[in-house]
Amino acid sequence: MNREMITTLTKAASISSCASTGSETDSDCSHLPDRPVKAQVRRGSNLSKTQHHLTGSFLFDDSPLPPLPNKPSSSTNPINERLVHNHLKNQGPNVSMFYRADGGVVAVKGEGAIIYEPDGSSYLDCANNVAGCGHSHPLIVKAAVDEIQNIMTNGRFLHPLRDAYVMRLLATLPPELDTLYLVNSGSEANDLALRMARQYSTSANPDHVICIDCAYHGHVQSVVDVSPYKWRQCTDGNAESYHKEHVHVVSAPDTYRGPYKTGAEYADEVKLVLEDTGGVGAFIHESILGCGGQIMMPDGYLPAVYDAVRSSGGCVIADEVQTGFGRPGTSFWQFQHYGVTPDIVTMGKPMGNGYPIGAVACRREVAERFAASGIEYFNTYGGNSVACAFGNAVLDAIEQDGLQENARVVGEYLMKRMRSLKELPSGVEFVKRRRTDYTGEDIIPHEKLCRYVVDFLKYERIIVSRDGPDGNVIKIKPPLVFTNGNVDSLVNGMKQALIEAEKTGYF
């Protein structure tokens, strides 16, 4: 499979890459003390005795920027200064903002992979998987405007656009997933999926859930509970109180940096939780671990986990909110790469190209068990005709513009160009030290260099983001309209950043 369209500059001793899509980060927690992982893990696992912490993306860091040569700051722009001031004064103090420390980015217009500020200056957007088909795609804009002029109303009315969209979306999935619920976001989708799994499960503990460390599944309470990425950011001294007793956290299946080297060993950890608990209601996973460092599932991991969870009466949920809709290049959904079919699939983000829409697809028997409770399900805005106009137009754009194939082709070119960075000393060594007898405690991430590269690119009018448990993974997740020329601009900028970093001693 192509490791497409999205690449990571990781904490390995080389430039490596993997498919990824976006993440939602709220704050930089690099100043926080390490925290123990409260999880049922394989006996003797390094994870059980290793302290962990989670760093949020630098994009939301308030600390001073490192010195960058001859680079003007956006914080002195009067428009940026006023908007940042009002944002901090009138909105919640923990509401996210890209590049808060440097005056943010005022995005008032977009076209393709370009974002424009009020003065007409532009940024190459390499970090926004929400506009998967590109900003202001004319086909999508026209479809949306046409329907807005017709009607905007409750989603419980019948509408031909909804009927068409449901059938088209189901056609992109395996035939076993033949039932759809339309909602407004990925968070809503994951919340509904957990409700359905609890009702469907025949295990001894239907309300228990297994999730992966550093996972992110949304911002409503039920999915924050299964998102260690979120609750590990706690700074009030009560981090462990956010870890609910019904949530069991297993190691991120990272065969390079983690405690195990194979997918089978990581699957054994899940099996141990099932053995210790007598079964759970659901196992929920991102098809690629986004905030956890862009980690693809290792060979054999998901098939073994799916079998074990189902054998114990549980349900498996694939979170495709960040990875679906053609981004994998060789497939429409990332879970297809692993040769598995989930019981439930959740989706959102690029589904509406910037308009709020999400969905839950499931096996019919899951939906029937959910309905058997007798509790009616409705969603006021979910599936309204305007949302479905956006959704249908996104599918049209992906098909007519060949965006899935473009993700594959341009993704391959991106990988080729990224590998050229290995020629640079700082491109080869993104870790300060790595012992060959790695025990899970000896990799020291070069977070400072990663941060420098992100900052440098921002001044070069290129937007990327930074994530991973140690804040040292550069995520590249551009719209699927990305071109080879866009790739050249990005990689040339990264190369210059690494050269400057070498000059200034950042590695």
Residue 141 confidence (pLDDT) above 60: yes
How far is residue 65's CA from residue 61's CA, in Å, rounded to a whole number? 9
- The percentage of the chain sitting over the pLDDT mark of 70, rounded to a whole number, equals 80
Domain residue extents for the chain: 7-28+63-133+401-504, 171-381
How far is residue 396's CA from residue 384's CA, in Å, rounded to a whole number? 18
DSSP letter at 135? B
Q: Which residue has the tokens 């989706």?
A: 347
Average pLDDT over residues 318-326: 97
Residue 91 confidence (pLDDT) above 90: yes
**Would strands 209-212 and 282-286 be described as parallel, antiparallel, or unpaired?**
parallel
Task: Please report, to the nearest 10 degrees, the dihedral formed by the alpha carbons of residues 185, 191, 194, 196 taken in order.
Answer: -80
How far is residue 206's CA from residue 313's CA, in Å, rounded to a whole number? 9
Phi, psi dihedral angles at 346 (to 5 degrees): -110, 150
Phi, psi dihedral angles at 263 (to 5 degrees): -65, -35
- Note every long-range contact of 114-117, with CB atoms under 8 Å and residues 24 or more positions apart, other chains counting: 115/463, 117/79
* Per-residue CA distances from 290 to 61, 267, 382, 470 (Å): 19, 19, 26, 13
How far is residue 240's CA from residue 117's CA, in Å, rounded to a whole number? 42
With residue 94 as reference, give the H or E element that holds it: none
- The percentage of the chain sitting over the pLDDT mark of 90, rounded to a whole number, equals 64
Helical pair 186-200 and 364-371, crossing angle rounded to 10 deg: 80
Q: Band the pLDDT of 97: cuts 50, 70, 90.
A: confident
* Per-residue CA distances from 387 to 184, 192, 279, 479 (Å): 9, 18, 38, 20
**CB within 8 Å of 177: residues ≥ 6 apart:** 170, 341, 342, 345, 361, 362, 363
Whole-prediction pTM value? 0.86
Average pLDDT over residues 237-260: 88
Q: What is the pLDDT of residue 430?
A: 46
The mean pLDDT of the chain is 83
DSSP letter at 102? G
Fold assignment, 171-381: Aspartate Aminotransferase; domain 2 (3.40.640)
Residue 286 confidence (pLDDT) above 70: yes
Q: What is the pLDDT of residue 31?
A: 28
* Per-residue CA distances from 110 to 185, 192, 279, 416 (Å): 22, 32, 48, 28
Q: Band the pLDDT of 98: cuts 50, 70, 90.
A: confident
How far is residue 469's CA from residue 52's CA, in Å, rounded to a whole number? 8
Q: What is the pLDDT of residue 390?
A: 98
What b-and-e string marks burial along 51-87, b requiring 16 or more CB atoms within 10 Å of the CB? ebbbbbbbbbbeeebeebeeeeebeebeebeebbeee
Phi, psi dihedral angles at 147 (to 5 degrees): -75, -35
Give 479-488 pLDDT, tens digit per residue.
999 999 999 9
Residue 381 confidence (pLDDT) above 50: yes
Which CATH architecture describes the domain 7-28+63-133+401-504? Alpha-Beta Complex (3.90)
**Would strands 114-116 and 109-111 be described as parallel, antiparallel, or unpaired?**
antiparallel
* Residue 5 identity: M
Q: What is the pLDDT of residue 405?
A: 97
Longest dimension (CA), the chain: 67
With residue 250 as reference, give the H or E element that holds it: strand 247-250
User: In the numeric block, which tokens belong to residue 205?
Assistant: 């503990």
Residue 75 confidence (pLDDT) above 70: no
Residue 168 confidence (pLDDT) above 90: yes
Q: Band the pLDDT of 490: cuts 50, 70, 90.
A: very high
From 346, 227, 347, 340, select the one nearest 292 (Cα to Cα). 227
Residue 437 confidence (pLDDT) above 80: no
